[in-house]
Structure 1
Amino acid sequence: MKLGFLTACLPESDLTDIADWAASHGFEALEVAGWPSTDDRNHIRVDRFDEAECDRVRRILTETGLTLSSIAYYENNLHPEQGAEVNAHVRRCVDAAAALGCPTVGTFVGRDPGRPVRDNLKLAEDVFGPLVEYAARHGVEIVIENCVMKSWHPDGYPGNLAYSPELWEWMFGLGLKLNYDPSHLVALGADPVAALRPYVANIAHVQAKDTELLPGKIDRYGFYGPISGEKGWYRFRVPGLGGVDWTRVIDVLYEGGYDGVVSVEHEDPVWSGSTERVQTGLGIAYRTLRHLVRG
């Protein structure tokens, strides 16, 4: 395995600076943000990816010795108005990944909140069949993060139909792979290790994020959380500052034969607000995981 991080936590930094910092602090890989140029999370300029951009990214990776583990574009592929453009950008990410020798592109399944779940599953099959086929022709796998994305549904219900093992099995049947993130299972009340064990062979990428349960909050709001816009009963933290048992998670990955990248996804509100604080958070994650993630 290799240890890396998702660059989206440093939107104000250039890929050159991110890569230099990552390599000098012991990281071995980057999961690089590839949102459109209208978004500040565009460390690879996928929507204007030409020979010069390809050469730029290759040079950065070569000079730092870092592996490009995935191009990240986590948006709603089933959005009722914007879905077609999201799908098109996923294809652009696939094109860039193929040119750079990157094995995966990460995204969400998403959901049309105006349709019931069964209709969304059929819609997803229609949308992702061609996307998976397109990626396969280019030697790339599409990986789906198991994030609930409650903010995408007006009532706070799951907005990304890939959040539970039941739905993982459904998406594996479409040829999609899992970008496994244990933090979201904690937030669902599921055991991240028990949920992981049967599906290691279907995992093509791993994100490392932790979850801290906030004392007393669930007793007020219940499992589904507040309706008032207040913060709920948990928050995401960098690995080591929440409840995920990283020793067991990494051990199960090794036991199941996973040999890819473990990529820190920094969404920790405590270690945010400036480049320096984000880097401090990444350092905490590194010290938590480095003795566990070994090539």
Structure 2
Amino acid sequence: MKQIKGPALFLAQFVGDEAPFNSLESIVEWAASIGYKGVQIPTWDSRLFDLEKAASSKDYCDNVKATCAKYGVEVTELSTHLQGQLVACHPAYDTLFNDFGPEHARGDHQAKEKWATEQLMMAAKASGHMGLTAHATFPGALLWHTVYPWPQRPKGLVEEGFKELARRWKPILDAFDGVGCDVCYELHPGEDLHDGVSFERFLAAVDDHPRANILYDPSHLILQGMDYVEFIHIYHDRIKMMHVKDAELNCDGRSGVYGGYQDWIDRPGRFRSLGDGQVDFKGIFSALTQHDFDGWAVVEWECCMKHPEDGAREGAVFVNEHIIRPSEYSFDDFAGGGSDENLNKKLIGIL
């Protein structure tokens, strides 16, 4: 068995205009000081990373890696969550997602899609220059407004939606394949890929593309009422990345998984800092270790209560306590008798 690497921290929720969160070097130094060995870098924030430069210059990427290495930190993956959302964005959501794209594309649906696709193509080149083997993103959504089947969905709608989603992503998957990097979709409400079944539909639509894989985040599965540990046993061959994020689901007589349009603090399903929610991380780390997952355990802090710096500090300790060092021998080896071919034949009655 292989050992999960970590802890690492997704930097997206911590970037800001004040030190130490306003530059790559200072935020990495801070992350290292509280126990992190890796960082997942959002590519849409120029305070941390210049995606265009990274796509065109390996020297720039080497400098990014060297900056992190100075503090004993590795770059685990790059992220294009915001850009990926716009690769496939239904026009009904154009206004809501305007801030995910550039100023010149505001209000222009086709311009946002073109820009987002170009961003993903640059991310493939940048990942290659960085020597990374996995990339984090969202798949976007063309069908989300029909996720609840009322009014009834016309026959063929879902198939057409996944066919179009595949058409947009196939060239991007091919580009990542060219640099030996997996595209790991975060299965997430609001995305057409939000559970196992929807991922399977997409996988079929892209002809089982080897680079179409999963960013496993149990918080989004528990809030759907799913068995998030069994999910690992089913899809472990496609899980190439993980976010360590906690959540809780406390449905009652007034509200359930849809949340009643309430703020996060009042919803039955809400994100929590590590250890404060209901997710069984011992089961998760055991299942991933059982299936030889050797990627990074990346803390994604999102909590409706706790301060982010406290969540990050506690998260590093939490991951260290849950990473399993695999045994090099079986617990019952002391009672074993070694290998004897003749004895084995005798025991099965053929000698």
Settle same-fold status: TM greater than 0.5.
yes
Q: TM-score range by the shorter chain?
A: 0.7 to 0.9
Query: 3-state DSSP class of the match of 1:111?
Result: coil
Separation in 1 of the partners of 2:49 and 2:33?
21
More displaced, 228-237 or 184-193? 228-237
Alignment of 1:130-145 (within 5 A): 130-145=171-186
Q: Pick from 17, 42, 45: which aligns with 1:33? A: 42
Q: TM-score, normalised by structure 2?
A: 0.72
Which residue does the alignment assign to 2:29?
A: 20
Could you give the per-residue CA deviations for residues 189-241 of structure 1, whole angstroms, max 9, x where no partner exists? 01111122121121111001111234xx5421233221467753211112211
1:64 aligns with 2:71: yes
Query: 3-state DSSP class of the match of 1:35?
Result: coil
Alignment of 1:40-119 (within 5 A): 43-49=48-54, 51=57, 53-75=60-82, 76=85, 77-80=87-90, 81=109, 82-113=112-143, 116-119=157-160
Q: Size of the alignment, in residue pairs?
A: 274
Q: Which runs of 5+ in 2 are unaligned?
A: 91-108, 147-156, 326-351
Tell whether the 8 Å contact from 1:128 to 1:174 is kept in structure 2 after alignment. Answer: no
1:203 aligns with 2:239: yes
Tell whether the 8 Å contact from 1:36 to 1:47 is kept in structure 2 after alignment. Answer: no
Which residue does the alignment assign to 1:223?
A: 257
Query: 3-state DSSP class of the match of 1:220?
Result: coil
Tell whether the 8 Å contact from 1:171 to 1:177 is kept in structure 2 after alignment. Answer: no
Which residue does the alignment assign to 1:246?
A: 281
Query: 3-state DSSP class of the match of 2:260?
Result: coil
Tell whether the 8 Å contact from 1:23 to 1:64 is kept in structure 2 after alignment. Answer: yes
Q: TM-score, normalised by structure 1?
A: 0.85
Q: Pick from 298, 317, 329: which aligns with 1:287? A: 317
Could you give the per-residue CA deviations for residues 234-270 of structure 1, whole angstroms, max 9, x where no partner exists? 1111221100000000000000110110101111132
1:21 deviates by 2.0
Q: CA RMSD in A?
A: 2.1
1:194 alignment partner AA: E
1:84 deviates by 2.4
Could you give the per-residue CA deviations for residues 161-211 of structure 1, whole angstroms, max 9, x where no partner exists? 221111222344233110000001110001111122121121111001111
Alignment of 1:171-190 (within 5 A): 171-172=202-203, 173-175=208-210, 176-190=212-226
Query: 3-state DSSP class of the match of 2:81?
Result: strand
Separation in 2 of the partners of 1:43 and 1:234?
32
Which residue does the alignment assign to 2:12?
A: 8
Tell whether the 8 Å contact from 1:7 to 1:43 is kept in structure 2 after alignment. Answer: no
Q: 1:266 to 1:229 in 2, by over 3 A?
A: closer
Q: Which runs of 5+ in 1 are unaligned?
A: 149-158, 272-276
Separation in 2 of the partners of 1:291 and 1:229?
32
Query: 3-state DSSP class of the match of 2:275?
Result: coil
Pick the structure with greater CA Rg.
2
* Identity within the alignment, %: 22
Query: 3-state DSSP class of the match of 2:259?
Result: coil
